[in-house]
């Protein structure tokens, strides 16, 4: 069998001094000085991107005034968050996040398995289509769901009343269910994207042998497939759960009318809706949450400690799919249903609405192309497209490169400090975006004058890299966990240089994950507003800033036009990426 059954990393270290099989390590083994310097540089980069802005925020939480103002150090911020009210809100937030993470993860795993491991028809097309909602600005899907599922005149409820004669609405989006549903709309495609390549890269011989030993499909799925996916699954769970704690669009849009409060709406209010913004309160609350979240990271380390999940090995890697027989139409139907509910319904609304003067008023005399014309004629929009493309391309590439290095060191070496850089890379994910945005503002603006970052496009780029690093590291960690050491050893034995080994093995085999991470990061940058609005300068507007301006001025239809164009771009990107993956896999 190809798997090195739970061969712990410690074993490798013991049996092979300085990890003889590891090309990267050996490349540096000539001088541990170089390794030390490399690590130091990495720690410095990560420190500047993550620790420095967080340190500014920590200062904010411990000081009576924000940086640059006279005040005193005190614990008033932390004292003021210790209220019963906040405890209830925290419990509520955790409940909501769990209620969205568990079903999201279940559905995403199922979808990833269908797309990557079964012979379900049209799975290639489905793979692109079911992820689309993730790439639409949340405010747009919120608006669309508001129109579909409001209790008074929502389309779904109108149809329901018409069909059944009922007077009560079928669904009400302004409720706990609505908040959770809107969050799922984002977390399912995100988790799917995050996991699907791990499923694809799995050696099917393990599943086959399980089946041959008499295990049922279900048992095989549970005991082999899921277990092998443990690093990816735990990472997914944490990314999604933590994001769930921090998301606030859904709660603000659908929760506020129903009196639902979460931690982030409280933070939002303390910055934006108090007489004077209370940064000490906002940052203290964020750090308290961050502390709790870090416990989760420690839990994951503990879970994965000493285990190996290598499924991509030197022997007979043949990614094949499970033949489902007639059941493939059931899995197909599931995907189509999912696509219909999460994509066709909301995005159909946006598309339809973009051709009428006003959303929801679909009469002949309201038909117009004016929103498209206005968007195309808007010079600020084009400038923002250019800026965002440059930032997206540079940012996503740099973020993934950084993520790949951090993940490589933390997964595949035993270097001192690898846990440090791994946890540093987690940090930005644990701070709510709007607070972290303030952290970047303070950090970059307070740099000494000669360092030209604040007020330039570099400030945005650095913030985006920091914000994207957690995902990039997680994606690459998952991929590296799956690659067996014997591949590197084999390559070296056959006389390949270190660089060749890196390129042919580590890059070539992990690159589907790299590509997915790249797309996730790219569109993360495209959507990022909290930091952008605080860091952009005249001339360096990003698309998210332009969208915010249009939305604030009531041009929802124009925002939709741009949202739809972003979606088109996603389809192109994903199509290129997937055809590339297929080409590579067939070469392997």
- Distance, CA of 189 to CA of 234 (rounded, Å): 17
Mutual orientation of helices 263-272 and 279-304 as an angle, nearest 10°? 150
Q: Rounded to the nearest 5°, which phi and psi values hold at 312?
A: -100, 105
- Distance, CA of 101 to CA of 95 (rounded, Å): 10
CB nearer another protein, residue 161 or residue 584: 161
| Smallest separation (angstroms) from another protein to the CB of 67 | 7
In the region spanning residues 69 to 88, those forming contacts with another protein, defined by CB under 8 A, are: 69
Under the binding rule (CB under 8 A), the answer on residue 446 touching another protein is: yes
Helix ranges (H only) for 483-529 are: 485-493, 498-501, 508-527
Under the binding rule (CB under 8 A), the answer on residue 419 touching another protein is: no
CB nearer another protein, residue 293 or residue 543: 543
For the chain, first and last CA: distance in Å? 20
User: Any idea which residue has 């599931």 for tokens?
Assistant: 334
Under the binding rule (CB under 8 A), the answer on residue 442 touching another protein is: yes
542: left (phi over 0), alpha (psi -120 to 50) or beta: beta
Under the binding rule (CB under 8 A), the answer on residue 454 touching another protein is: yes
CB nearer another protein, residue 81 or residue 516: 81
Which of 253, 281, 317, 429 is close enough to bind another protein by CB under 8 A?
A: 253
Under the binding rule (CB under 8 A), the answer on residue 346 touching another protein is: no
Which of 312, 350, 438, 465 is close enough to bind another protein by CB under 8 A?
A: 438
Under the binding rule (CB under 8 A), the answer on residue 278 touching another protein is: no
CB 187, CB 240: distance < 8 Å: yes
Q: Which residues contact 50 (CB under 8 A, 6 or more apart)?
A: 424, 425, 427, 428, 466, 469
Q: What is the DSSP letter of 430?
A: G
- SS3 (DSSP) at 381: helix
Under the binding rule (CB under 8 A), the answer on residue 357 touching another protein is: yes
How many residues lie near another protein (CB under 8 A)?
54
Q: Which residues contact 134 (CB under 8 A, 6 or more apart)?
A: 186, 189, 190, 193, 523
Under the binding rule (CB under 8 A), the answer on residue 348 touching another protein is: no
| Smallest separation (angstroms) from another protein to the CB of 577 | 34
CB nearer another protein, residue 52 or residue 253: 253
| Smallest separation (angstroms) from another protein to the CB of 100 | 22
Which of 358, 362, 503, 580 is close enough to bind another protein by CB under 8 A?
A: 358
| Smallest separation (angstroms) from another protein to the CB of 249 | 11
Under the binding rule (CB under 8 A), the answer on residue 533 touching another protein is: yes
- Distance, CA of 463 to CA of 264 (rounded, Å): 20
Pick from 432, 400, 388: which is nearest to 526 by CA? 388
Q: What share of the chain is helix, strand, coil (3-state, %, to 5)?
A: 75, 0, 25
Under the binding rule (CB under 8 A), the answer on residue 455 touching another protein is: yes
CB nearer another protein, residue 153 or residue 585: 153
Choose one: 12-20, 21-29, 397-405, 534-542; the region binding another protein (CB under 8 A).
534-542
In the region spanning residues 172 to 231, those forming contacts with another protein, defined by CB under 8 A, are: 174
CB 18, CB 25: distance < 8 Å: yes
The 131-160 site mask, x for binding another protein (CB under 8 A), equals ------------x--xx--x-xx-------
Rg (C-alpha) for the chain, rounded Å, is 25
Under the binding rule (CB under 8 A), the answer on residue 550 touching another protein is: yes
CB nearer another protein, residue 358 or residue 503: 358
Which of 18, 85, 539, 580 is close enough to bind another protein by CB under 8 A?
A: 539
CB nearer another protein, residue 254 or residue 408: 254
Under the binding rule (CB under 8 A), the answer on residue 377 touching another protein is: no
CB nearer another protein, residue 115 or residue 467: 467
Under the binding rule (CB under 8 A), the answer on residue 552 touching another protein is: yes
- Distance, CA of 28 to CA of 408 (rounded, Å): 14
- Distance, CA of 559 to CA of 552 (rounded, Å): 10
Q: Which two tokens stand for residue 123?
A: 């799975």
Q: Which two tokens stand for residue 83?
A: 């209220």
> Contact positions toward another protein, by CB under 8 A?
66-69, 143, 146-147, 150, 152-153, 174, 252-253, 256-257, 269, 271-277, 357-361, 366, 438, 441-442, 445-447, 449, 454-455, 533-534, 536-539, 545, 548-556
């Amino acid at each position: 069998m190809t798997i090195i059954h739970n061969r712990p990393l410690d074993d490798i270290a013991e049996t092979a001094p300085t990890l003889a099989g590891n090309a990267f390590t050996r490349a540096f083994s000539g001088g541990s000085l170089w390794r030390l310097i490399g690590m130091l540089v990495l720690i410095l980069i990560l420190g500047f991107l993550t620790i420095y802005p967080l340190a500014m925020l920590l200062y904010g939480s411990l000081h009576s005034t924000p940086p640059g103002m006279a005040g005193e150090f005190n614990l008033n911020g932390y004292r003021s968050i210790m209220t019963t009210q906040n405890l209830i809100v925290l419990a509520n937030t955790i409940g909501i996040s769990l209620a969205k993470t568990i079903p999201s993860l279940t559905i995403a795993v199922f979808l990833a398995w269908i797309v990557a491991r079964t012979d379900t028809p049209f799975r290639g097309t489905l793979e692109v289509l079911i992820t689309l909602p993730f790439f639409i600005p949340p405010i747009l899907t919120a608006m669309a769901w508001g129109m579909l599922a409001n209790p008074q005149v929502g389309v779904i409820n109108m149809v329901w009343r018409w069909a059944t004669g009922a007077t009560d609405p079928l669904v009400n989006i302004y409720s706990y269910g609505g908040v959770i549903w809107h969050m799922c709309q984002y977390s399912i495609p995100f988790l799917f994207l995050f996991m699907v390549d791990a499923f694809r890269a799995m050696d099917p011989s393990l599943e086959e042998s399980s089946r041959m030993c008499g295990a049922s499909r279900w048992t095989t799925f549970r005991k082999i497939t899921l277990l092998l996916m443990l690093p990816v699954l735990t990472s997914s769970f944490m990314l999604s759960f933590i994001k769930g704690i921090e998301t606030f669009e859904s709660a603000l849009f659908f929760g506020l009318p129903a009196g639902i409060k979460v931690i982030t709406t409280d933070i939002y209010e303390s910055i934006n809706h108090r007489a004077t913004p209370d940064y000490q309160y906002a940052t203290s609350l964020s750090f308290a949450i961050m502390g709790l979240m870090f416990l989760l990271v420690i839990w994951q380390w503990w879970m994965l400690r000493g285990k190996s999940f290598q499924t991509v090995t030197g022997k007979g890697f043949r990614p094949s799919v499970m033949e489902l027989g007639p059941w493939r139409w059931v899995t197909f139907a599931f995907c189509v249903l999912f696509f219909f509910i999460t994509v066709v319904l909301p995005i159909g609304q946006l598309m339809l609405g973009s051709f009428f003067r006003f959303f929801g008023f679909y009469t002949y005399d309201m038909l117009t192309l004016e929103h498209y014309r206005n968007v195309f004629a808007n010079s600020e929009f084009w400038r923002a497209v250019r800026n965002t493309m440059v930032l997206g391309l540079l940012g996503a590439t740099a973020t993934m490169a950084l993520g790949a290095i951090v993940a490589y060191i933390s997964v595949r070496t035993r270097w001192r400090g690898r846990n440090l850089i791994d946890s540093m890379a987690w940090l930005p994910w644990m701070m709510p975006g709007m607070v972290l945005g303030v952290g970047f503002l303070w950090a970059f603006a307070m740099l000494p004058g000669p360092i030209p970052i604040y007020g330039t496009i570099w400030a945005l780029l650095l913030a985006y890299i920091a914000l994207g690093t957690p995902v990039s590291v997680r994606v690459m960690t998952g991929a590296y966990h799956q690659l067996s050491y014997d591949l590197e050893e084999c390559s070296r034995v056959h006389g390949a240089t270190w660089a060749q080994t890196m390129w042919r093995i580590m890059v070539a085999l992990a690159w589907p994950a790299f590509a997915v991470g790249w797309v996730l990061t790219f569109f993360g940058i495209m959507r990022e507003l909290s930091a952008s609005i605080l860091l952009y300068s005249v001339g360096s507007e990003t698309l998210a800033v332009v969208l915010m301006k249009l939305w604030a001025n009531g041009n929802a239809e124009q925002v939709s036009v741009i949202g739809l164009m972003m979606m088109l771009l996603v389809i192109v990107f994903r199509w290129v990426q997937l055809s590339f993956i297929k080409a590579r896999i067939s070469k392997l």
